[in-house]
Amino acid sequence: MKTRRLWIAAILAVSLAACHVRYIPVREARFRTETARSERLQLPLTAGGRAKLLGFLRAGGDSDRVGNTLVDPAAETHYGPLLDRLADPAPLTLDDLLEKRALRKWLSGPVLRQVIDAREESPPAISPVAVGDGRYWWIFYPRHKRLEELLVTLSAEPRKPKR
Amino acid sequence: MHERLLASLESVAEVRLVTALRHEQLGFPNGKDLRIFIPDVHLISEKRLIEGEFTYSTNHPELLTSVVKTLTDLRSQAAQDETVEVYQIGDFLDLWREAPQPDEPSEVPARIKDDHEDLITAFLDRRLKAHFLLGNHDFDLYQWADYAGWERRYYLPDSPPSVIVLHGDYFDWVERLPASIKQIFVYLFSARVAPNDYVLGQMRALSRQSHAGRDYRRQIQLAQAAPIGPLRSPRANGIPPEWNVQREGVADAASLTFLDSAYQECLQANQEFGVNFKVAIIGHTHHARIAVRETAGGGLFTLIDCGAWIENCQARDDADPSPNAQIAALSGGEARVYQLAPKPITPPVRVPGAA
């Protein structure tokens, strides 16, 4: 009887997880790469954009620490090749991201199209693409199927220790 | 305000009048209040259009984009004491044709929108502030955050309402599944009740039931072009009080589809909920028309079916069917439905002696 209850509980848990509609919140200014929308990173990344993004990642995704306190010494090693790809003049497309998963090597987490950004007046007409890497959400903004802008924000999900 | 709308439409399209009704019992007498209704668009992605082997797609998307942009200008230019509101009345995105398996994730609508960026951006322009209804082909949008503002019905004007705007699939259920809809009726027609999860679940189940086993490769609603009667220029000799209005005893059955159901539901709502609905505005059937019938008290009940931007219509005097491309408007006690078409491309004028 007990085993049966456990099975039912397990099936219910899996079903609920499957039904859960997921969306990504854009975090507070401190935990994202821009304060205002006008500061959004342009793609391909310029040298300045690359440096800004790397600074944010080195600071562990906390703008208060950018340029004064190092949190992630491995950021350049870990994210450098991804930033190089994002700085490549060959434009990235929606197809690259969604179908070809061209950034999977670095961004292997889930891909979601619902981003809640409470700064905006209304939901976006064309949904951005959010790709997770476990710690950050990389939010790409397409225009006519080209990825033109990028916002990186710290994940809001509770961090769970790996077992 | 009908004239200003007409001028706007004529700036981007060839415009013919499908039907018009000017009547004191139409309600909605305010001549400075213009409501515009854009019916079923049924967008799907380009990839799905090919993979699904659909033999038809949304009609004139570029024209529709231009129309929506010109409506945005019209709204932006309205005076302080004027109202211009635009309603897309359901089946804007066609989730059912895009993803035949239910419970597809939120990526499905995003995928459709990716392929129609200009049109989507025009519709969602914040200067337009368009209102959206959920249809039976995009009902599942209700569960996702981006579509939180999309509803199943609107009442016009805001106080006291005399017009109910709904997609129209409800009347399918009324006629086919009358036992299943009591709670849904209360939600749709009572101006005091918001939907709870149970009612939404019921509607979702009915929606799915109505799609089950249907093959949409060749048609959604129409095996043949919808007969829309004689069209006329909206400019020639003014518009009479009634043009091409469908009446019981005269019109064919197809032209009266849902008229009795809509009347009975509105009558019941008027009696039970103290409202006074005289007009129901719908899409869903892809058959543009205005149909009227006498009420029990000798008044007039009006059903305005706004048509569609998919599948075809057949005007009485045209040799061939035309792609459905309709838009309806209500203002100053007058309702109109227009059929639009792209303007013919005029060849450039040759200047003698020019290279």
**Residue B157, preceding bond cis, omega within 30 degrees?**
yes
Query: Residue A47 is inside which H or E element, if any?
Result: helix A47-58
Give the C-alpha separation, B23 to B240, whole Å: 11
* B283 vs B295: CA distance, rounded Å: 22
A108-B146-B69 Cα angle (round to 5): 115
Beta-bridge mates of residue A150: A41, A140
Q: Are B107 and A113 within 8 A, CB to CB?
A: yes
Of the two residues B27 and A47, the one the predictor is more confident about is A47
Chain A nearest C-alpha distance from B104 (Å): 10
What stretch of H or E contains A12? helix A2-19
For B258-312, give the DSSP string: THHHHHHHHHHHHHHH-----EEEE-SS---EEEEEE-TTS-EEEEEE--BSSSE
* A63 interfacial to chain B (CB closer than 8 Å): no
B40: DSSP letter: B
Q: Is the pLDDT of residue A16 over 50?
A: no
- B149 chain-A contacts, CB cut-off 8 A: 122
Measure A143 CA to nearest chain B CA, in Å.
8
Supply B236's token pair. 């020639």
User: Which residues make Cβ contacts (< 8 Å) with residue B121, sequence separation at least 6?
Assistant: A125, A126
Q: What residues of chain A lie within 8 A of the CB of B48, using their CB? A: none
**C-alpha span between A16 and A80 (Å, rounded):** 38
pLDDT at position B218: 86
Whether chain B has a CB inside 8 Å of the CB on A125: the answer is: yes
pLDDT at A136 over 60: yes
Query: A26 — phi, psi (to 5°)?
Result: -80, 125
User: What does the pLDDT read at residue B179?
Assistant: 66
> Any chain A CB within 8 A of the CB of B148?
yes
Query: How many residues appear in chain B?
Result: 355
Distance, CA of B113 to CA of A108 (rounded, Å): 24
**All structural domains of chain B with their residue ranges:** 2-341
The total of other beta-carbon atoms located within 10 Å of residue B245's CB is 21
Q: How many angstroms away from the CA of B110 is the closest CA of chain A?
A: 6
Check CB contact under 8 Å for B145 and A126. Answer: no
Closest-CA distance of chain B to residue A70, Å:
36
Q: Which of the 8 DSSP states describes residue B56?
A: -
pLDDT score for B199: 76
Beta-bridged to residue B243, according to DSSP, are B20
pLDDT of res. B47: 92
- The CATH architecture annotation of domain B2-341 reads 4-Layer Sandwich (3.60)
Give the full edge-to-edge strand order of the sheet including A136-143: A41-42, A146-154, A136-143, A129-132, A111-112
- Residue A34: per-residue pLDDT: 97
In single-letter form, the type of residue at position B152 comes to R
Q: Which one is predicted more confidently, A76 or B223?
A: A76
State the count of interchain CB pairs (< 8 A) between A and B: 53
Residue A34 backbone zone (phi > 0: left; psi -120 to 50: alpha; other: beta): beta
Instruction: Decide if A131 contacts A108 (C-beta within 8 A).
Output: no
User: Within 13 Å and on the Cβ side, how many CA atoms surround B290?
Assistant: 26
Q: Which residue of B has its CA nearest to A142?
A: B114
What was the pLDDT predicted at B209?
76
For residue B93, give the nearest of B128, B127, B61 by alpha carbon: B61
More confident site: B105 or A118:
A118
Element (H, E) at B337: strand B334-342
Q: Which of B190, B187, B176, B43 is nearest to B121 (CA)?
A: B43
Q: A21 vs B143: CB contact, 8 Å cut-off? A: yes
pTM: predicted TM-score of the whole model, two decimal places: 0.89
Q: What is the pLDDT of residue A7?
A: 55
Distance (Å, whole) CA B41 – CA B93: 7
User: Above 0.85 for ipTM, yes or no?
Assistant: no
A127 and chain B in contact, CB less than 8 A:
yes
Q: Please list the pLDDT of chain B residue by residue as tens digits (355 residues).
A: 999 999 999 999 999 999 999 998 888 889 999 999 999 999 999 999 999 899 999 999 999 999 999 999 999 999 999 999 999 999 999 998 998 765 567 789 999 999 999 999 999 999 999 999 999 899 888 888 899 899 989 999 888 889 999 999 988 877 776 666 777 787 788 766 676 777 778 788 877 777 777 888 888 888 899 999 999 998 878 889 999 999 988 899 999 999 999 999 899 889 888 888 999 999 999 999 999 999 988 899 999 999 999 999 999 999 999 999 999 999 999 999 999 999 988 777 777 766 5
- Rounded to the nearest 10 degrees, the angle between the axes of helix B169-176 and helix B197-211 is 80
Q: Which residues of chain B are within 8 Å of residue A145 when distances are taken between CB atoms?
A: 114, 117
Q: Distance between CA atoms of B260 and B292, rounded to whole angstroms?
A: 9
B107, closest residue in chain A (CA to CA): A113
